[in-house]
């Protein structure tokens, strides 16, 4: 498996995002929250999005930097995550803190959150 985050892996559909927030479940690992929903059982794929609230970070530069850090953490650790799942999922990682965390700390938190998710889905 290649450690990339391709266009097909990104969650962009407005309808799917609405469905995710209406029907989805969530897990927390401070400062992150994972909203997830299983769509189908056939295909082993994951679509993912990242969100940072404007309420906590007024400048778009700061929000974009945190999203970039989250995407990088996901990309590096997705092998453990995707191989443990059966079915098609949509996910959204949401950053909830009002200060920016380092890349190393975010790597640890996102890996812990991914492991929680894989255990809850088995």
Quote the tokens at residue 103: 């890349």
Domain count, the chain: 1
Q: Residue 71's domain spans which residues?
A: 8-117
Domain-located, residue 2: no
User: Tell me, what CATH number does 58's domain have?
Assistant: 3.30.230.10
Domain-located, residue 122: no
Q: Which of 84, 76, 86, 85 is nearest to 111 (CA)?
A: 76
Order of strands, sheet of 32-40, starting from the edge strand that comes earlier in the sequence: 25-29, 32-40, 88-95, 45-51
The answer to whether residues 47 and 16 touch, using CB atoms and an 8 Å cutoff, is yes
The answer to whether residues 63 and 95 touch, using CB atoms and an 8 Å cutoff, is no
Q: Is the entire prediction scored with pTM above 0.85?
A: yes
The answer to whether residues 117 and 36 touch, using CB atoms and an 8 Å cutoff, is yes
Domain-located, residue 70: yes
> What is the distance between the alpha carbons of residues 63 and 79, in angstroms, rounded to a whole number?
26
Taking only the tens of pLDDT, the chain with its 122 residues reads 678 888 888 999 999 999 999 999 999 999 999 999 999 877 778 899 999 999 999 999 999 999 999 999 999 988 877 777 888 899 999 999 999 999 999 999 999 999 899 888 77
């Amino acid at each position: 498996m290649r450690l990339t985050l391709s266009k097909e892996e990104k969650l962009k559909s407005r309808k799917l995002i609405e469905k995710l927030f209406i029907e989805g479940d969530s897990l927390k690992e401070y400062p992150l929250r994972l909203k997830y929903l299983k769509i189908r059982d056939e295909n082993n794929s994951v679509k993912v999005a990242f969100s940072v609230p404007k309420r906590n970070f007024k400048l778009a530069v700061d929000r974009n930097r945190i999203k970039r850090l989250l995407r990088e953490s996901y990309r590096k650790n997705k092998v453990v995550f995707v191989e443990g799942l059966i079915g098609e999922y949509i996910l959204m990682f949401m950053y909830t803190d009002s200060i920016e965390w380092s890349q190393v700390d975010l790597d640890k938190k996102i890996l812990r959150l991914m492991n929680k998710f894989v255990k809850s889905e088995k």
